[in-house]
Structure 1
């Protein structure tokens, strides 16, 4: 079972600082685009005979809500993911994407467009035509086809994709799919990745619910793979304000929640944008933040990297990803020629969430301990009054569950 911890307590234990944040209800829901409804919908698979996804003719002109939600402006002052390779096991990543120019290995054709979209979320650079940012614009992408041309997949394809990404030098492996079967194959592939010091990040649920009785969507919470493998960082989706998407499959014991509704991103060609939703996009955001953190400290093991993202997350029933807190909690690496480290976080230069979600970092030592205790005495009662007290932790991905 994976431990579920309050973010402020875990960060205080890991580094001499304490992060306090406003509750999700206080967040502003910034618009995803100038008119999100006008953006074409992202697909995760194509029907037989359906043509490949064409370039979008609509460009988003407003900064996506996900940028402020994750605290990216502050995180970018500390890291851009440079030096980290993220394996994208998806429908492929198209060649020639301007948002990823010069930073894609293994690119080719992406008929569906999902892999290109996810790669843009993870590592895209903003274009002059729009303000859509990826999370880690300095990271490299290793494109691995984990599906056929139409987006269909199976456990063997995904397992082979994980291994290929690791063999290609990826320290972070993003897997776009969640399957009900494949426990044995995917567990072995994840073990291989972990042995090679690579963290696998996967959606806790599929983007489209499986069919239940009567042809109705089955939204029951159940284990999906590879997310349910203990070493995998399992990510669920939330929308603006922190609420889970409506009519989406319920996640089974996810480790983390990240933006996965009304996400704006690139297509497989052109400079227009698409609008997507689903846990696969939440996992893509988590993979990008993992790249920011790993670039800050490449010595982190997969377990340490995963724990860093969870421990620094905003405390909720499912901890909510916070890029700024995750990156700022990692000490800066040693500079060459014996120069001193830079401060762990430049608070004045990086106001988090433009005042909507603030962070207070308290130094170590006796004074820091006194202030920490005093802050806890004040924050905990207030948090309980406002509904911050978490429910009993659900079983983690290490819990026993029925086989596929």
Structure 2
């Protein structure tokens, strides 16, 4: 069975571990597995005028999420955890009491919507005492910068200013939660500026939801993109997929994504409290990819932003849109010549080390090789020694 298939099956089985602790909560079928799990509160995509801020969740997911085994985080985090890397979160803010991020948020601020806190937890949260939910890079530092207004509505000016500020303040990776149909000039310039400062910008290739019209669902055809800043040269554009391996039906179309990552039925922290929310969208896939970029920067600190993006792309699982594989990005040897520093989807030669679980097999092969060598040496000696003795150890023709 291919490793990608095994990992997908493992991911599907892992969704059952999301059951929160409170026994009194009402169970309902999980869309991913059909099993009964307690439903977490959904994180809103936007807050309407006059709506209160997102309330703390009272429900906690006790197990790990489906995305953790899908990304191979257990193995990847043995090699790197993002220590020494700063990931800027240009979004609705990151609340100072976001679970799993204590002491690692710079410029923490009120997050009325909760999206920025949720994304930051997917990037860098440590698992809690009663929960296995973890971020991709749990030792990374978060730099919180505004990319939306108080209601969670982004604008090209706010996002561009946030990207530039993050670059000026030394961010290694810059995550933005916005996918904007406008702002090409401002956001292309901001991404170029950040790249020149040594920061990789990671952004969603599609919005999380289509806008509503007159209180109802949008009735016009969905926009086909491009979306900014993801479409800007130098940015890493990411689209989501779910536990089934596909995007949910009705999801906004993505515009030329570079990479796919888990982004549907995601579980993360919110602003305040110790509970969790559930949410879906390409912005959450981009958060996971930003965390993976932080792992690469921690393990390979000398790489340029283009080389980090290229490593993530060249080591991804082959698919219509290559799928993020943090462990492979940390371990595979890939060419990094100047002509290959751009983030493209070209296939490049790679040499993979033996996985950790193949240790016994590798040891057995090594012992077998040594034994074979000894046998060959003994056979050679059985031929050479008698002839040497017959000649009294002199070369042919001498004496």
**What's the counterpart of residue 149 of structure 2?**
148
Task: Tell me the CA shift for residue 218 of structure 1.
Answer: 3.8
DSSP-derived class of the 2:59 partner? coil
1:186 maps to: 187
* Pair 1:135 & 2:131 matched: no
Does the 8 A contact of 1:312 with 1:322 survive in 2?
yes
Q: Please name the residue that 1:273 is paired with.
A: 276
Distance 1:116 1:25 in 2: 28
Aligned residues of 1:209 and 1:217 also touching (Cα < 8 A): no
* Range with bigger deviation, 211-220 or 271-280: 211-220
- Cα distance in 1, alignment partners of residues 4 and 67 from structure 2: 17
**Does the aligned pair in 2 maintain the 1:293–1:330 contact within 8 Å?**
no
Structure showing greater radius of gyration is 2
- Given that 1:219 and 1:247 are in contact with CA atoms closer than 8 Å, whether structure 2 keeps it comes out as no
Could you report, residue by residue, the CA deviation over 1:14-38 in whole angstroms, capped at 9, with x for unpaired residues? xxxxxx7434895331216116662
Structure 1: where are the runs of 5+ without partners?
Answer: 1-19, 332-343, 352-359, 361-404
Residue 100 of structure 2 aligns to a residue whose secondary structure is helix
CA gap 1:274/1:289 in 2 versus in 1, 3 angstroms: same
Correspondence 1:4-403 to 2 at 5 A: 21-23=3-5, 27-28=9-10, 29=12, 30-31=14-15, 33-34=18-19, 38-210=39-211, 215-216=218-219, 218-329=221-332, 347-348=355-356
1:37 to 1:226, Cα distance in 2 relative to 1, 3 A: farther
User: Residue 127 of structure 2: SS of its match in structure 1?
Assistant: coil
- Going from structure 1 to structure 2, the CA distance change for 1:215 and 1:26 (only over 3 Å counts) comes to closer
Distance of aligned partners of 1:36 and 1:81 in 2 relative to their CA distance in 1, 3 Å threshold? farther
1:56-87: per-residue Cα shift (whole Å, max 9, x none)? 01111121000000011110110001010000
Bigger relative contact order (CA 8 A; separation at least 6)? 1
8 A Cα contact 1:286 1:321, kept in partner: yes
Alpha-carbon spacing, 1:312–1:181, altered in 2? closer, same or farther (3 Å)? same
- Number of residue pairs the alignment of both structures matches: 322
Distance 1:176 1:204 in 2: 10
Q: Aligned partners of 2:91 and 2:217: how far apart in 1?
A: 30
Q: Tell me how far apart the structure 2 counterparts of residues 113 and 172 of structure 1 sit (CA, whole Å).
A: 21
Is the 8 Å Cα contact of residues 88 and 144 (structure 1) preserved in structure 2? yes
2: CA distance between counterparts of 1:160 and 1:186? 9
Give the conservation status (yes or no) of the 8 Å contact 1:297–1:330: no
The residue aligned with 1:355 is none
Assess if the C-alpha contact under 8 Å between 2:239 and 2:261 holds in 1: yes
Kept after mapping to 2: 8 A contact 1:24/1:241:
no
Contact 1:66 1:263 in 2 (8 A): yes
Tell me how far 1:252 sits from its aligned partner. 1.5
TM-aligned CA distance change 1:25 to 1:98, over 3 Å: closer
Alignment partners' CA distance in 1, 2:200 and 2:150: 26
Report deviation, 1:348. Answer: 2.1
Structure 1 residue 214, shift from structure 2 partner: 8.3
Q: Distance between the aligned counterparts of 1:44 and 1:141, measured in 2?
A: 21
CA contact (8 A) 1:204 1:236 kept: yes
How far has the Cα of 1:217 moved from its partner? 6.3
Contact conserved, 1:236 with 1:257, CA < 8 A, in 2? yes
Give RMSD over aligned pairs: 2.4
Question: Hey, what's the Cα distance between the residues in 2 that align with 1:121 and 1:214?
Answer: 29
Q: Deviations over 1:256-295 (max 9, x none)?
A: 0000100000010111000010000000000000000110
Q: Is the 8 A contact 1:203 1:282 kept in 2?
A: yes
Q: Deviations over 1:163-213 (max 9, x none)?
A: 111112101000000000000000000010010010000000000124589
